[in-house]
């Protein structure tokens, strides 16, 4: 579902009745609830945020009724009597910030919470200030829900950051009911002063006394006050009227906004009255018609650039940025930092106008907007932010061609009549509904597990992934589903074609005797056949066992031996190798179960098949597909349960050999749905997949996610940053999850070419830490929100930041918990560490794996006695719930998102005749995050150099991705008193070293490989 906006030059005409101010409504309703007697608030508003305040107050026992256009509030004299133990602020920040403290005036304990996504909103500074005031409250992570104990606050001296006026307002609304005098002092920069002026003015109307310093940084409040009932008339909402003013400014117009009686209303009259002054300064022709309202009338007007201080009107940045986009010259928005803490990062969200041809540049605390003559239609995201949605929609009315916006109903939060009012003026805006489809299942929190048990399963989604694909084939048959971008050409499959290919492949697997629950292995680069094979295996209830394409004999043999796969699909060639021919050199025990090897040719011609030695048969993939018919009805009868095992991925750790992590289909669907919700992805998105599909990042958060959403996925067959940029521009991709090296390479190409991906909204950088300088460069040159994340093969993503987070949190941390996920940092005894203190990082999640293949001992070791997954990482959790990985308990090197099996490579080096002992540690690397450095002590009289080590590993058929990129020969390895190698000493030495360059490594290892 999206908001479709069609641009056009037509003339706007008509009248709009401006709704009542929600800012006044919130304050008047809350103060009336505290007063003695009955108050009447004239000017009924249907804004959803005000509705949340009304419903929360009713939950606290306040009787609120309506008479015509009036709220009638029966005040409780300063003592709430909750009807239930928990009250919700919905998604209203004003409601939440004002009512957390006021909930202490209840006569029993009460919990203040909000909608699911709103429970990620940090309120730590406000909670700390309320505690200074003497309010007794608790919060698990500095976010809602907040448990508040009853009792009037003690009062005292309170300090609060001036970041958000709502925090300060929440304190001074409560202070009159304290037992002792209260002084509230603002620390740091004061933002949004007009909103504080409104709060104080409204309090005085209800008889509450507040003394304010001249600079509005100190508030003195007497204790034991009582609010008096009042009748209040709400003024018109200039914040809503602003969108009609902007629309009328951008088109020839004759528009009347009824209710606005002044162009110079003071800040206490309305905190957004400054908007009218700025709009007038920019050249919007406005005049007041006495007794009627504000008229905007012209036959075309040239707007002027200006400078805007956003501290006074933070909520006006989106709509003013739209006006500035069409102004002559450069408009400068100063002090925008706190506007990025609203419903979304509004400054960053408005840079999406660049995808339409605008010129916005966000640098630090300043947003610069260069005017342009015309825009083009684009797919945009509202980030579920009402002001961003409405501002971008108004801008899109001047674009050449249609535009779409996600979260099309966000306007209801503040301006329920937005579409009706602006449509009545002649603008083309409508919510388009896609064909009926099954929404992703909501995740459920895992129930506490008994000792040694896995977290309990959440309810299964109603359909398997192949069923979703068949539904897409029915409802959007001719839309593109999968694009494979090869170095010199592209191929594409529609949803109809994809479903047909899947049925043919599933029928082939059945002819080869594949049974439900059996593992099917395939080693392919990023191409459509990988998607087809995955869906075909899932279609018949088999388990997908993808193998990284750069793996060689050693790793492939291990995967075949452990998985017991009887069927293997291979590419005919891969980067100069012939994987099918390499099978002949594998030990017999590795291929003992293998019966059929399907070979995918490089072209439409038949593949060149190796001779068969009797152990297993080779088949040409395309010929085998064409050899039989697909019986769709018969396949449908074999549809597995959503809870069936779906995936086997081998992951390296410290146990000496890779472990096979098993996942159920419903768990993978739940994991993809959680990211879709966290980031607000929808049917308008296009997913770019440069990460290997055989890695969980590409498999789940590229391919699977796109199939769940029913949107186009663009597979990058081979990594080349220049090719990637052309693919992004051609297909207008909006989302990608990949490791840092992909981001680094892409940024370099964008900087060199001066061409940015036009609509790439979100780049989730997972698998390795994001250098802050790289994230800042990417945000600046590409206009893309770079988001940090943390996940494991065993748990899927556990944490993720969002474009709405402040930049330092967005890319400076690994994000916050996804829905249903719980995080903790503990010491070695299992005691939870305080915020900011490093410890062992553990996860409890509804997306945990089903266990390690044939290793119940390792599965049990992976979980604590009370059911938490041990990540093996060291981390901190701050007071706002943001995760920062600080190190590793396990001895793992993370090279470009792929974990190097340290123990295995060390053991192999130890087997070299010249090596006495060896240890591998990480070298920091700006591009890959980490590279591998080998410290080796050689035997007396022997020698080992870097090329010799490479030749040895090549002979051992070790994937080049895992080869050390630096060799340091030492007399001995540093050890502690117990004889353990002190790797921290080696890591300190490795920090100053650089990779060595070897002629055999350049072909693959200096490319991204499996990153």
What residues are annotated to the active site? 315
Find out whether 27 is annotated in a ligand binding site: yes
Contact by Cβ (8 Å): 181, 137: no
Find out whether 22 is annotated in a ligand binding site: yes
Question: In the beta sheet, which residues pair with residue 786?
Answer: 763
Angle at 948 between CA 943 and CA 949, to 5 degrees: 95
Contact by Cβ (8 Å): 729, 758: yes
Question: In the beta sheet, which residues pair with residue 998?
Answer: none
Find out whether 722 is annotated in a ligand binding site: no
From CA 536, how far away is CA 698, in angstroms rounded?
18
From CA 142, how far away is CA 122, in angstroms rounded?
6
What 8-state DSSP symbol labels residue 701?
I
How do beta strands 218-221 and 182-187 pair?
antiparallel
Per-residue buried b or exposed e for 933-965, using 16+ beta carbons within 10 Å of the residue's own CB:
bbbbebeeeeebebeebbebbeeebbbbbbbbb
From CA 569, how far away is CA 597, in angstroms rounded?
6
Record the tokens describing residue 410, joined without a space.
Answer: 């966000």
- E strand or H helix at 697, and its extent? helix 696-698
Question: In the beta sheet, which residues pair with residue 930?
Answer: 924
Find out whether 166 is annotated in a ligand binding site: yes
Contact by Cβ (8 Å): 392, 405: yes
Record the tokens describing residue 49, joined without a space.
Answer: 């945020």
Find out whether 142 is annotated in a ligand binding site: no
What 8-state DSSP symbol labels residue 590?
T
Record the tokens describing residue 141, joined without a space.
Answer: 């992570």
Find out whether 755 is annotated in a ligand binding site: no
From CA 174, how far away is CA 224, in angstroms rounded?
11
Find out whether 342 is annotated in a ligand binding site: yes
Sign of CA dihedral 770, 776, 782, 785: positive
Contact by Cβ (8 Å): 607, 600: yes
- Half-sphere exposure in the Cβ direction for 534 (13 Å, CA): 28
Contact by Cβ (8 Å): 574, 959: no
Instruction: Report helix, strand or coil for 229.
Output: coil
Question: In the beta sheet, which residues pair with residue 282?
Answer: none
Angle at 313 between CA 310 and CA 315, to 5 degrees: 100
Find out whether 346 is annotated in a ligand binding site: yes
Alpha-carbon distance values, 943 to 729, 832, 916, 936, 969 (Å): 52, 49, 11, 10, 9
What 8-state DSSP symbol labels residue 890?
S
Find out whether 121 is annotated in a ligand binding site: yes
Instruction: Report helix, strand or coil for 363.
Output: strand
Contact by Cβ (8 Å): 200, 227: no
Record the tokens describing residue 817, joined without a space.
Answer: 């918990």
Contact by Cβ (8 Å): 167, 193: no
Record the tokens describing residue 919, joined without a space.
Answer: 């240890």
Question: In the beta sheet, which residues pair with residue 80?
Answer: 106
Please report the DSSP string for 993-1010 in residue order.
------TTTTTTTTS-TT
Please state the φ and ψ torsions of residue 512, each to the nearest 5 degrees.
-85, 0
Alpha helices in 383-447 (DSSP H): 386-396, 418-424
Record the tokens describing residue 722, joined without a space.
Answer: 């220049």
Can you give 111-129 as a three-state secondary structure string?
A: EEECCCHHHHCCCHHHHHH
Find out whether 379 is annotated in a ligand binding site: no
Contact by Cβ (8 Å): 934, 953: no
Give the CA-trace dihedral at 927, 932, 935, 936, to 10 degrees: -140
- E strand or H helix at 58, and its extent? helix 48-59
Binding residues for phosphoenolpyruvate: 22, 93, 121, 166, 346, 387
Binding residues for 3-phosphoshikimate: 22, 27, 165-166, 315, 342
């Amino acid at each position: 579902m999206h908001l479709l906006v069609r641009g056009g030059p037509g003339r706007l005409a008509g009248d709009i009745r401006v709704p009542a101010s929600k800012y006044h409504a919130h304050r008047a309703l809350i103060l009336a609830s505290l007063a003695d007697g009955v108050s009447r608030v004239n000017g009924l508003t249907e804004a959803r945020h005000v509705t949340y305040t009304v419903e929360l107050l009713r939950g606290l026992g306040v009787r609120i009724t309506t008479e015509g256009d009036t709220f009638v509030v029966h005040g409780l004299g300063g003592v709430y009597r909750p009807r239930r133990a928990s009250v919700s602020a919905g998604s209203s920040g004003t409601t939440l910030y004002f009512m957390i403290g006021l909930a202490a005036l209840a006569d029993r304990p009460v919990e203040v919470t909000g909608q699911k996504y709103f429970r990620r909103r940090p309120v730590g500074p406000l909670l700390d200030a309320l505690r200074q005031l003497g309010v007794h409250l608790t919060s698990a992570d500095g976010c809602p829900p907040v448990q508040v104990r009853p009792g009037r606050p003690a009062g005292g001296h309170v300090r609060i950051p001036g970041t958000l006026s709502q925090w300060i307002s929440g304190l001074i609304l409560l202070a009159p009911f304290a037992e002792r005098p209260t002084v509230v002092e603002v620390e740091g920069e004061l933002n949004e002063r007009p909103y504080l002026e409104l709060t104080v003015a409204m309090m005085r109307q209800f008889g509450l006394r507040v003394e304010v310093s001249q600079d509005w940084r100190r508030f003195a409040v007497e204790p034991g006050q009582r609010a008096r009932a009042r009748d209040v008339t709400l003024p018109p909402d200039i914040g809503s009227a602003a969108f009609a003013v902007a629309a009328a400014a951008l088109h020839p117009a004759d528009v009347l906004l009824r209710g606005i009686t002044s162009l110079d209303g003071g800040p206490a009259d309305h905190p957004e009255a400054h908007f009218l002054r700025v709009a007038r300064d920019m050249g919007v022709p406005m005049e007041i018609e006495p007794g009627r309202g504000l008229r905007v009338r012209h036959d075309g007007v040239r707007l002027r650039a200006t400078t805007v201080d956003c501290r006074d009107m933070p909520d006006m940045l989106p709509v003013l940025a739209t006006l500035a986009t069409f102004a002559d010259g450069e408009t400068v928005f100063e002090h925008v930092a706190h506007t990025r803490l609203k419903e979304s990062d509004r400054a960053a969200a408005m840079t999406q106008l660049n995808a339409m041809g605008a010129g916005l540049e966000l640098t630090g605390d300043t947003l610069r907007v260069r005017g342009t003559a015309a825009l083009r239609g684009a797919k945009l995201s509202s980030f579920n932010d009402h002001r961003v949605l409405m501002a971008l929609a108004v801008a899109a009315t001047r674009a050449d061609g249609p535009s779409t916006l996600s979260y099309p109903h966000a306007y209801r939060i503040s301006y329920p009549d937005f579409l009706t009012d602006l449509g009545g003026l002649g603008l083309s805006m409508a919510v388009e509904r896609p064909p009926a489809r099954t929404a992703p299942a909501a995740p459920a929190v895992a129930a506490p597990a008994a000792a040694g048990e896995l977290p309990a399963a959440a309810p299964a989604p109603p359909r398997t992934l192949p069923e979703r694909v068949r539904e897409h084939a029915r409802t959007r048959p001719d839309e593109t589903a999968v694009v494979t971008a090869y170095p010199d050409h592209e191929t594409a499959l529609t949803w109809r074609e994809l479903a047909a290919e899947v049925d043919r492949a599933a029928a082939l697997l059945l002819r080869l005797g594949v049974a439900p629950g059996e593992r099917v292995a395939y080693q392919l680069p990023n191409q459509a056949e990988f998607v087809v094979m995955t869906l075909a295996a899932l279609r018949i209830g088999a388990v997908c066992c993808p193998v990284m394409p750069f793996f060689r004999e050693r790793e492939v043999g291990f995967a075949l031996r452990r998985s017991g796969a009887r069927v293997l699909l291979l590419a005919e060639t891969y980067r100069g190798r012939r994987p099918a021919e390499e099978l002949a050199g594998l030990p017999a025990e590795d291929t003992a179960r293998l019966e059929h090897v399907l070979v995918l040719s490089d072209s439409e011609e038949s593949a060149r098949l190796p001779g068969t030695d009797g152990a297993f048969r080779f088949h040409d993939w395309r010929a085998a597909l064409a050899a039989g018919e697909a019986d769709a009805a018969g396949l449908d009868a074999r549809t597995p349960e959503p809870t069936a095992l779906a995936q086997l991925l081998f992951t390296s750790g410290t146990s000496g050999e890779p472990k096979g992590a098993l996942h159920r289909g419903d768990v993978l669907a739940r994991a993809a749905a959680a990211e879709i919700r966290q980031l607000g992805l929808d049917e308008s998105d296009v997913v770019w997949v440069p990460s290997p599909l055989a890695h969980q990042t590409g498999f789940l958060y590229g391919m699977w996610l796109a199939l769940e959403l029913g949107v186009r996925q663009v597979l990058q067959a081979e990594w080349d940053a220049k090719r990637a940029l052309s693919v992004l521009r051609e297909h207008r991709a909006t989302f990608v999850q990949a490791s840092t090296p992909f981001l680094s390479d892409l940024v370099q190409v964008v900087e060199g070419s001066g061409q940015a991906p036009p609509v790439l909204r979100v780049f989730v950088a997972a698998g390795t830490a994001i250098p802050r300088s790289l994230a800042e460069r990417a945000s600046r040159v590409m206009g893309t929100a770079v988001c940090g994340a943390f996940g494991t093969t065993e748990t899927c993503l556990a944490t993720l930041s969002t474009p709405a987070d402040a930049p330092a949190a967005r890319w400076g941390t690994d994000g916050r918990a996804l829905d249903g996920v719980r995080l903790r940092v503990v010491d070695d005894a299992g005691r939870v560490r305080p915020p900011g203190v490093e410890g062992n990082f553990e996860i409890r999640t509804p997306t945990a794996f089903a266990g390690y293949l044939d290793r119940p001992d390792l599965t049990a070791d992976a979980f604590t006695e009370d059911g938490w997954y041990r990540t093996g990482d060291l981390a901190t959790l701050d007071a706002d719930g943001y995760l920062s990985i600080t190190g590793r308990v396990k001895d793992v090197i993370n090279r470009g998102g792929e974990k190097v099996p340290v123990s295995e490579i060390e053991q192999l080096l130890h087997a070299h005749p010249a090596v006495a002992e060896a240890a591998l540690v990480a070298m920091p690397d700006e591009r890959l995050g980490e590279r591998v450095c080998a410290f080796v002590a050689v035997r007396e009289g022997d020698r080992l150099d870097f090329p010799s080590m490479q030749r040895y590993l090549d002979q051992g058929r070790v994937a080049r991705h895992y080869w050390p990129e630096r060799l340091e020969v030492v007399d001995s390895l540093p050890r502690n008193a117990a004889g353990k190698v002190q790797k921290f000493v080696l890591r300190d030495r490795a920090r100053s070293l650089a990779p060595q360059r070897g002629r055999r490594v350049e072909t693959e290892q200096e490319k991204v490989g499996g990153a």
